[in-house]
Amino acid sequence: MTAEDAAAPDIRARVAQLHGLREQVRRGPDEKATASQHAKGKLTAHERIALLLDEGSFNEVEPLRRHRATGFGLEDRRPHTDGVITGWGTVHGRTVFVYAHDFRIFGGALGEAHAEKIHRIMDRAIAAGAPLVSLNDGAGARIQEGVTALSGYGGIFRRNARASGVIPQISVMLGPCAGGAAYSPALTDFVFMVRETSQMFITGPDVVQTVTGEKVTLGGLGGADVHAEVSGVAHFAYDDEETCLEEVRYLLSLLPQNNRETAPAELSEDPPDRPCDPLLDLVPAGGHRPYDMRRVIEEIVDDNEYLEIHERWAANVIVALARLGGQVVGIVANQPLVLAGVLDIDASEKAARFVQMCDAFNIPLVTLVDVPGFLPGVDQEHNGIIRRGAKLLYAYCNATVPRISLILRKAYGGAYIVMDSRSVGADLSYAWPSNEIAVMGAEGAANVIFRRRIRSADDPEATRRQLVKEYKAELMHPYYAAERGLLDDVIDPAETRRVLVESLRMLRTKHADLAARKHGNPPQ
């Protein structure tokens, strides 16, 4: 052994140095920055990842990465990780990729090295065929790095688009997200937000006031409640990060790993043939009386448990994930408690995106129909109800997953067709004995068809009532559609769960051949 070899540190010393460096990187820049993060009611990136993933499953990649930028003092500030933690772990034992902005470093702003880390983990998620979760808490592009940082966002957007419909993508907003950075979450399948601490907007309050004169707070412009109720950008909003991340885990349990797999089945002690007798009392026979469709869904699905998506936006339609007979299904349902369950612009777009998501990830669709039509009005027409309502029609017509529709009460006009009728490709279409399938309601139809007869009658009101009764008896009785082959069966509401479970079991091996094409051109 030479004197030089004897003086060199041995491998144990180097390993000890490595562990010390790793611990320093994990702790972050300093305790003051961590305390500041906690004081805002926010967790650190590593704490968030620990809540999201199964305990001890996280494998971090490129923790020692540092930027190479110079100028504006950057050459003297080169922290490890460059402000983003990337890696993979498991959720309920299944692989999930994740990246998390570390607000303690450059405010989580994106620079060249930061972006390259995200690009690499996105590429790995696509290649591995596993979900990608982004934990967003960043101040946008790193201004000191100029256009290089902006280019990094372009790489993220391109990968979001490439991964769309291939792997589930979930964005969790845990801090600010401004400018072009907001478009990455908008390209993903689901957006979660936390009240008080997360915001999303293209231009901030100061710019809005300068340009338009409008004064608005951060929360009022792009807070969680605004995006969950008004804009529809956020699918979920929660009061704290712990609850939010637990719900992300629950959502992941209902999704497949990728578009080549099916969602994981889960055994349930809820009998598949359980009678649903309460349904006989839940839904009033009178078409004008409201009821809560959520209670119908609860009664039908396994263990009365489902995850509603976009719960507070466009509430006249419900979209949810649940299990029937252990298999994950997507549920689309009109909500008679809100606007009588009509379809309008927002409801159509909400349901269309959900149908597309389910179709992309091999999730069967169950549609519960009680719809009086599309919402009339000048605003609806001028804002494009034709092209935007057509999105839902296109989504259903384009879907190849098993599709079952069930008409509970009303199914009028074009809205009946759009809500996955047999004519647009539903595999099975059922109805309860309370169904009314028609071009329009009996009162409106009688007023149109028998206008002159009613007007010339000695007692117009009595004549109108009699003609309405005759119209219902002739064209709107519960077996009219079944007699003409437009329904597969009229079923006892108490047997709804059994019928749906058995139908889904039969359709599990459904295969659909698609026409050769690059892609469709859906209405915008």
Known catalytic residues are 179-180, 414-415
Over its C-alpha atoms, the chain yields an Rg (Å, rounded) of: 28
First to last CA, the chain: 75
Paired tokens of 187: 């390209």
Q: Coil, helix or strand for 509?
A: coil
Report DSSP state, residue 254.
Answer: T
3-state secondary structure 332-345: EEECCCCHHHCECH
Report DSSP state, residue 488.
Answer: S
Whole-angstrom Cα distance, residue 288 to residue 267? 39
Helix, strand, coil percent content, the chain, rounded in steps of 5: 45, 20, 35
- Residue 119: φ, ψ to 5°: -55, -45
Q: Coil, helix or strand for 493?
A: helix
| 497, amino acid identity | R
Which of 368, 305, 302, 383 has its CA nearest to residue 331? 368
Which of 108, 83, 87 has its CA nearest to residue 96? 87
For residue 524, give every residue at least 6 positions away whose Cβ sits within 8 Å of its Cβ, in sequence order, or none: 387
